[in-house]
Amino acid sequence: MKRLIINSDDYGRTPEVSRGIRAAHLLGVVTSTTCMMNIPTTAADIKIGLWETPQLGLGVHLVLTADKPIGPYESVKSITDENGNFLKLAALIQRINDIDVNEVKAEWRRQIEAFIQAANKKPTHLDSHHHSSYFSPSLFRAMLELAQEYDCAIRLPVVNDSDDMAGLPPELIGPIREYAPKLFAEFNPRRPKAFFASFYDDLATHDELQRIISEVGDGTYEIMTHPGYVDDELLKASSYARQRETELKILTDPSIKEAIRSNEIELVTFASL
């Protein structure tokens, strides 16, 4: 049986991003999303989603590289800058061996608990903004321990029919290939068989999405997407802004739904794992 999770990252990034994700579910093929719980408006967006899109799977997008943490500055000093903001991606990678994983795990737990308070249920799965939860063995272990604690699935960033890791910083892929399989074997988390990260930016095209759909075989696969509507807040905060409306247009195109049907693929969420 061919099954496919089409997950939208960044629910809550702005209210307009959240509205676009809901549209991609209601009018298109998105089945799942992950919520950025350190954004103050995300809890309200979740309430809207529970009413407007009750079949949309909801997970937690663990954050280390955007906006501010939920916890007080004293509890997150190793992962924040002098203004109390999370480190930017490049800075986090540069300081990856100096961060306090206990601070990270406590902050991620706060984000998961904030989701449970807003949604009144556990998340379907965990993944991470910029894939930061895979950047070191200790970070990956922290995510796996939290997934085990909250009994939810995780994203598996492994390319179909290979041991390549998708969407990760090139300078980190070598070490990740060494420790990731060992940690997967130790924890054996629920996760999809493979992961497609290529539908992004210049490759967020009809042809690329059709190509990915044609590669889905038996088992459960995940496609990462980033649909949304653009507003001034997003334009100021993110370099990936107008591209989201391009993704939304493709993900709601009837030809994509037809391609999924003709390939006999069932659309599911992480809850089916």
Asked whether 62 and 108 are in contact (CB, 8 A), the reply is: yes
Domain that holds residue 180: 2-272
- Collapse the DSSP code of 5 into the 3-class scheme (helix H, G, I; strand E, B; otherwise coil) and give the result: strand
Percent of residues, the chain, with pLDDT higher than 90: 88
CATH number of the domain bearing residue 121: 3.20.20.370
Helix (H, G, I), strand (E, B) or coil at 126: strand
B/e letters for 71-95, b = 16+ CB within 10 Å, e = fewer, are: beeebbeebbeeeeebbebeebbee
Whether the model pTM is above 0.75: yes
* Res 164: pLDDT: 62
Q: Could you read off the pLDDT of 49-64 as tens digits, one per residue?
A: 999 999 999 999 999 9
Task: Categorise residue 214: left if φ over 0, alpha if ψ from -120 to 50, beta otherwise.
Answer: alpha
Structurally, how many domains does the chain consist of?
A: 1
What digits encode the pLDDT tens for the residues 143-188? Answer: 999 999 999 999 988 766 555 667 788 888 888 888 988 998 999 9
pLDDT, one tens digit per residue, over 14-23 is 999 999 999 9
Measuring CA to CA, how many Å separate 94 from each of 172, 199, 244, 246? 11, 27, 28, 32
